């Protein structure tokens, strides 16, 4: 009888243990599923290669919404008054628009311990700091490249004027983005501030040079994936674009080249910015902090070609990477790029762009 009772007791103990393990295994995914970090931003910033380790560590799902322009991000954020997203990867042409619209939450940088290891120029820069308060944490940066098919364009272009060459009529892709008018100003109009062009200047100086490009354009791209496909399909030979497309094409063994011609280049410096009223601020801070670690910065740069912002990445890079990303001469190189800014009369830029697109 004693043996029988022991058997029954052991059986009950096993059932309880099994039930406990089952409930525990069910509870973990349920907890992870209830924690969701929603980010809207540029392609590549939420790649699986570095989001998965974060999700595993924090038990929180990162849900990415990719956008092809700052205008698209702004429209989507405003449509929901910021309630659909927790974070945005904002470039310098978007940051102040979000701030002025009351859509951002000021940051408590004490919750981002790795902020201390940013390269100095990325600590509270003008494009994410307003009225002396930090509203953003830098992510990555880079120039807007002249990208070309080496099998068609045999020598590296020295000037942006190649986009006007009739030999490439119908073989060029440009971004579907009014900020491109600043590039036209940089190339030839001689404007002292390429992001502060009034209506008269847009009409007299920018419009003629912009409209001369229209016959050259095969297609306006809205994503870097689309731009990569245009090259792969041999539809285009030249484009204005970003490093993420170049990296995609390199992985496809496509003969792609990217350069900054003699006139210089515009560029972007991006920030994580927290949406006002986000219910996931705690995990958002954890994400911002994680993305400044050396391994996450390197993974981001390896996948996208975007250039890192944290000194933590330096021991993980080869000398070639340090040189190609100009981290050994950072402040000098950074100072020579015309980084995107908020355009005061942006509606007039949009009107000109729509007219150009419709030609």
User: By residue range, what is the domain housing residue 54?
Assistant: 35-139+269-325
In a domain, 200, yes or no: yes
Question: In angstroms, what CA-CA distances link 339 with 118, 130, 142?
Answer: 19, 17, 9
Looking at the chain, the whole-number percentage of residues with pLDDT higher than 90 is 85
* Residues 127-137 pLDDT 10s: 999 999 999 99
- For the cut 90, the answer to whether the pLDDT of residue 9 exceeds it is no
Which has the closest alpha carbon to 54: 33, 30, 29, 37? 37
Cα–Cα distance between 164 and 132 in angstroms, integer?
44
What is the tens place of the pLDDT at every residue in 288-310?
999 999 999 999 999 999 999 99
Calculate what percentage of the chain has a pLDDT beyond 70.
90
- Whether 334 is in a domain gets the answer no
Structural domain contains residue 18: no
Do 257 and 310 fall within a single domain? Answer: no
Q: Is residue 203 a part of any domain in this protein?
A: yes
Can you give the pLDDT at residue 113? Answer: 98
pLDDT of the residue at 20: 39
For residue 67, is it within any domain? yes
Let me know if residue 25 belongs to a domain. Answer: no
Tell me if 330 is assigned to some domain: no
Do 310 and 294 touch, CB atoms closer than 8 A? Answer: yes
Claim to verify: residue 130 and residue 276 sit in the same structural domain = yes
Query: Tell me, what's the pLDDT at 190?
Result: 63
Q: Are residues 216 and 350 in the same domain?
A: yes
Residues 205, 150 share a domain: yes
Q: Are residues 295 and 149 in the same domain?
A: no
* Residues facing 267 on adjacent strands: 143, 339
Which residues in 267-291 are b (16+ Cβ under 10 Å) and which e? bbbbbbbbbeebebbebbbbbbbbb
CB 173 within 8 A of CB 218: yes
Q: Is residue 11 part of a domain?
A: no
pLDDT at 52: 97
Please say whether the beta carbons of 102 and 348 come within 8 A: no
**Together in a domain, 244 and 162:** yes
- Inform me whether the pLDDT recorded for 16 exceeds 90: no
Nearest to 65 by CA among 267, 223, 220, 180: 223
Indicate if the pLDDT at residue 147 is higher than 80: yes
Q: Is 133 left (phi over 0), alpha (psi -120 to 50) or beta?
A: beta
Contacts of 236 (CB under 8 A, 6+ apart): 149, 171, 172, 173, 218, 219, 230
Q: Which H or E run includes 36?
A: strand 36-41
Is residue 260 within 8 Å of residue 145, measured between CB atoms? yes
Domain count, the chain: 2
Asked if residue 298 and residue 153 are part of one domain, the reply reads no
> Which range among 16-20, 83-87, 156-160, 347-351 shows the weakest confidence by mean pLDDT?
16-20
195 and 47, same structural domain?
no
pLDDT of residue 22: 35
Same domain, 126 and 214: no
Question: Per mean pLDDT, which range of 123-132, 186-195, 324-333 is the poorest?
Answer: 186-195
Residues 218, 353 share a domain: yes
Mean pLDDT of 103-112: 97
For residue 159, CA distances in Å to 156, 245, 259, 264 come to: 9, 21, 10, 9
Pair (99, 56) in one structural domain: yes
Q: Is the dihedral of CA 65, 69, 74, 80 positive or negative?
A: negative
Instruction: Write down the pLDDT at residue 189.
Output: 58
Handedness of CA 310, 313, 314, 319 (dihedral sign): negative
Same domain, 349 and 213: yes
Q: Any idea what the CATH number is for the domain that residue 302 is in?
A: 3.40.190.10
Q: Is the pLDDT assigned to residue 177 strictly greater than 70? A: yes
Q: What pLDDT score does 191 carry?
A: 66
As a 3-state breakdown, the chain gives helix, strand, coil percent values, each rounded to 5, of 50, 20, 30
Spatial distance between the Cα atoms of 302 and 288, rounded to a whole number of angstroms: 18
């Amino acid at each position: 009888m004693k043996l029988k009772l022991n058997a029954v007791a052991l059986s009950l103990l096993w059932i309880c243990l099994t039930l406990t393990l089952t409930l525990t295994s069910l509870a973990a995914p349920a907890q992870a599923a209830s924690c969701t970090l929603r980010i809207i931003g540029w392609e590549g910033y939420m790649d699986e290669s570095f989001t998965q380790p974060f999700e595993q560590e924090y038990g929180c799902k990162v849900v990415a919404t990719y956008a092809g322009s700052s205008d698209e991000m702004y429209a989507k954020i405003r449509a929901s008054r910021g309630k659909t997203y927790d974070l945005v990867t904002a470039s310098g042409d978007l940051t102040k628009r979000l701030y002025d619209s009351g859509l951002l939450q000021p940051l408590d940088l004490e919750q981002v311990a790795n902020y201390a290891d940013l390269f100095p120029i990325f600590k509270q820069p003008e494009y994410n700091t307003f009225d002396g308060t930090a509203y953003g944490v830098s992510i990555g940066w880079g120039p807007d490249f002249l990208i070309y098919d080496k099998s068609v364009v045999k020598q590296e272009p020295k000037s942006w004027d190649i986009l006007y060459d009739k030999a490439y009529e119908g073989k060029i892709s440009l971004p579907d983005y009014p900020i491109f008018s600043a590039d036209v100003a940089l190339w030839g109009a001689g404007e002292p501030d390429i992001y502060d062009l009034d209506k008269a200047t847009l009409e007299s100086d920018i419009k003629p040079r912009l409209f001369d490009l229209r016959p050259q354009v095969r297609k306006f791209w809205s994503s870097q994936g689309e731009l990569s496909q245009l090259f792969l399909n041999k539809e285009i030979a030249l484009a204005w674009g970003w490093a993420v497309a170049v990296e995609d094409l390199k992985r496809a063994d496509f003969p792609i080249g990217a350069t900054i011609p003699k006139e210089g280049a515009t560029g972007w410096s991006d920030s994580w910015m927290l949406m006002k009223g986000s219910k996931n601020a705690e995990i958002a801070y954890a994400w911002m902090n994680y993305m400044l670690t050396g391994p996450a910065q390197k993974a981001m740069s390896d996948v996208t070609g975007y250039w890192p912002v944290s000194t933590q990445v330096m021991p993980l890079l080869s000398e070639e990477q340090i040189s190609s990303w100009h981290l050994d001469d950072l402040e000098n190189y950074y100072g020579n790029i015309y980084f995107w800014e908020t355009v005061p009369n942006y509606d007039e830029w949009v009107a000109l762009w729509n007219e150009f697109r419709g030609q």
